[in-house]
Structure 1
Amino acid sequence: MMTPAAILDTSLQGKRIPFTQAPIIDFAPAESGTRAGKLEVAKHLRDACINAGFMYVKNSGVSPSLAESTFSWARRFLKETTPEQKQAVSMAVHGHNRGYFTIGEENLDPTSQAAGDLKEGYNIGRELAPDDPDRNTPLCGTNAWPEDFPGFREAMLTYFDAMNDLSRRMIRIFALSLDMPEDYFDKMVDRPLATMRFLHYPPQEGVITEEQLGCGAHTDFGCFTFLAQDGVGGLQARNVAGEWIEIPSRTDCFVMNIGDMFQRWTNDLYISTLHRVINTSEKDRYSLPFFFDPNADAYIEALPTCVTPERPAHYAPTTGLKHIMERLSAGYGFDIVNGGDKKEDM
């Protein structure tokens, strides 16, 4: 049966522009290994982060076929597992910000939305050995894997590892873009609070308002995000003029955007851009965001190259874990660390 065409509130309509007007970062020169190539990419990255905060990354070294395979596993999980299997790996039960969440359980814009986001998904973090001390750190812990669903764990971790490797290469280019030593961030991202998700957005029907969107307007919380889209579209970002701009899906590129922590780290030099998802395609939409955040104990203060007498530090120092916890816990009605009812002191 055909899904009824959606009707958008006029304030929710994105301005359609050719994707060539969005910054495109070619990562290939950085992958050459030469300093000149890395500095070339760093220059373009700096311009994009200052002026947009949202960009495409091409020639990342991660094969598009890997994202396609991961999308396939995401669809299989949602279609082939039983409600009991999903409940057993529910984030609300498992904790650690890992596992499955259903439609409405996450609300990324609680100031406007009443019903929560119209999406479901699954969170995966670093797979830790039994004796890894980080297992006792909030938001680390163990991943939640469904029973009797062979191949899923291996597929998810393969994608996670590929994106984690890309992110650790990319943050070195970020360091160069900020006139810092290339390895400046290395010791702060060797045990990252990185999270991979797959998300499913059913098509929205009827009159759409801010009461419920596929994903409510928000900025990302951490350093930066890589996003693979499945070709359906629906992502919008708000530019500095306050206009909502469509970010068309490109299967040959990742979308990358800056998060709040990097805006804080760069003393507001780099922009953490407000964005949202509205799926009016009459199709199911899937996406694969990978959030790259620093170690839990990473000390976050304004970088020396981003502070001057005329531009003093805008934020008090914090840690990677404290910053993420403050932002993340506000979006759920349950305790994201331990599972179960939400704790008042979070």
Structure 2
Amino acid sequence: MISEIPCVDIRSGASSVSDPDIASALDQALATHGFCYIQGHDVDASRISQILEVNHTFHALSEEEKRELAVNRFHRGYIGKDESQTVTSSVKPATQPNQSESFMVMQPVSADHPRWGSAIFGPNQWPDTLIPEFRMTCLDYFNVMQTLAYGLTQRLGVALGLGPDAFTKWFTEPTLFLRLLRYPALSTSDHRDQFGSAPHTDHGFLTLVAQDATNGLEVQTSEGRWISVPPLDNAFVLNVADMLSVISGGRWASTPHRVVLNQRERYSVAFFFDPNFDAAIYPMLPADPPNREGLQVHYGEYLMERFDKNYLYRDA
């Protein structure tokens, strides 16, 4: 299936993050769609295969085994089907819980961290006895994706005409999420308003998604149409999230997207590269509409507000 979403090969030009052709391609894609494919990255295909494989392995565990790793108050662990509902959607609030299940990993935090025990600053959970290779596979993927995301952040600064170091101040201690997702196959009892993931925007800076061979991800165009973002070999799907949209002055929209269910189950791995928890985000380009000119968003507060509203475990 051919997608309307452009593909940007970040190895196609000069090795510098300031390559003007790549910057132009990123700007055109993100100004039009808020999404693009990224090829020419340095993440080995074997690493992508391995993280998708442990994703399968984890979700093949029994419900009881997965529940032993139920998400903790630091947003780390297993989130089951029907345990999240997108009520903060900019499209329209979801009327049904999301049908996906997922396992959340965040950046490791040591117990002597000044924020330890608050907000998102706590321990990850690991199925070490059940899947011995799970922890190392996740952390290895985590590290290579962080390196890729740092490089892309520099390229995005260039694409906005701000320079490669424009965003550095917001990423001295970035907020990082790795989410291993499973979407069930469509059943005859599913309703039209049930989604693997209901229409939403991402709350952070940028998202990089590795997909298996099953379709399901869709993006809403500026005209309101939903278009497919099918899997592309050895490519990540990159999308603009809310904080990057603010920084760009609205030039790059944080585009609504969703995952629809189909006849086959679907697996994906999303890596979220977000600012420092304490970052105060503001437009670095003239804001559109102009009344956003003085906008400032405290990322950590914005994040926790969305967690509180969209995840049922926050009420426990």
Task: Normalising by structure 1, report the TM-score.
Answer: 0.84
Give the match for residue 22 of structure 1.
Answer: 5
**Partner deviation per Cα, 1:253-306 (whole Å, 9 max, x = no partner):** 1111111111122221111111111121x2221001111110011121111x33
Report which stretch shifted further, 201-210 or 183-192: 201-210
Deviates more, 1:67-76 or 1:124-133: 124-133
Residues in 2 aligned to 1:155 and 1:31: alpha-carbon distance in whole angstroms: 31
Q: Which residue of 2 aligns with 1:333?
A: 312
Deviation string for 1:144-202 (max 9, x for gaps)? 11241312111111111111111111011111112213112123113111111010011
**Within the alignment, does 1:323 sit opposite 2:306 as a pair?**
no
Pairing partner for 1:87 from 50, 67, 72: 67
Asked if 2 retains the 8 angstrom alpha-carbon contact of 1:217 and 1:274, the reply is yes
CA radius of gyration, larger in:
1
Verify the 8 A CA contact 1:233 1:249 in the aligned structure 2: yes
Distance (whole Å) between structure 2 residues aligned to residue 296 and residue 55 of structure 1: 26
Please list every run of 5 or more consecutive structure 1 residues that lacks an aligned counterpart in the other structure.
1-16, 336-340
- Deviation of 1:208 after TM superposition, in Å, equals 4.7
Verify the 8 A CA contact 1:215 1:277 in the aligned structure 2: yes
Instruction: Specify which of 74, 77, 83 is matched with residue 96 of structure 1.
Output: 74
User: Is the contact made by 2:247 and 2:283 (CA closer than 8 Å) also made in structure 1?
Assistant: yes
Spell out, residue by residue over 1:222-268, the C-alpha distance to the aligned partner (whole angstroms, 9 max, x if none): 11110110011111111011111011111321111111111122221
Structure 2 residue aligned with 1:49:
30
Would you say how many aligned residue pairs link Structure 1 and Structure 2?
A: 312
List structure 1 runs of 4+ shifted beyond 4 angstroms. 109-112
After alignment, is 149-158 or 319-328 more displaced? 319-328
Q: Which residue number corresponds to residue 75 of structure 1?
A: 56
Which range is displaced more, 168-177 or 135-144?
135-144
Identity of aligned residues (%): 27
Q: Distance in 2 between matches of 1:182 and 1:291?
A: 20
CA contact (8 A) 2:287 2:293 kept: no
Which residue, out of 242, 264, 286, partners 2:267? 286
Of residues 103, 119, 127 in structure 2, which corresponds to 1:122? Answer: 103
**Aligned AA for 1:183?**
D
Which one-letter code corresponds to 2:70 in the other structure? Answer: S
- 1:311 and 1:30, CA in 2 relative to 1: closer, same or farther beyond 3 A? farther
In 2, Cα distance between equivalents of 1:30 and 1:72: 32
In structure 2, the partner of 1:5 is none
Cα distance, 1:44 vs structure 2 = 1.1
Q: Secondary structure of 1:135's partner?
A: coil
Which stretches in structure 2 are left out of the alignment for 5+ residues?
A: none
Equivalent-residue separation in structure 2 for 1:68 and 1:57 (angstroms): 17
Please tell me the root mean square deviation across aligned C-alpha atoms, in Å: 2.2
What is the alpha-carbon distance in structure 2 between the residues aligned to residue 185 and residue 285 of structure 1?
34
Deviations 1:301-342 (A, max 9, x none): 111x3349x94534631222112122232111222xxxxx35
CA distance in 2, matches of 1:47, 1:106: 33
CA contact (8 A) 1:235 1:246 kept: yes
Deviation by residue 1:64-88 (Cα, 9 ceiling, x = unmatched) = 22111111111111224x4443222
Q: Tell me, yes or no, if the aligned pair for 1:221 and 1:328 is still in contact at 8 Å.
A: no
For 1:324, give the aligned amino acid: L
Task: Give the one of 228, 231, 236 matched to 1:254.
Answer: 236
What is the TM-score with the length of structure 2 in the denominator?
0.91
For residue 159 of structure 2, the aligned residue among 139, 152, 177 is 177
- Letter of the 1:26 partner, please give it: D
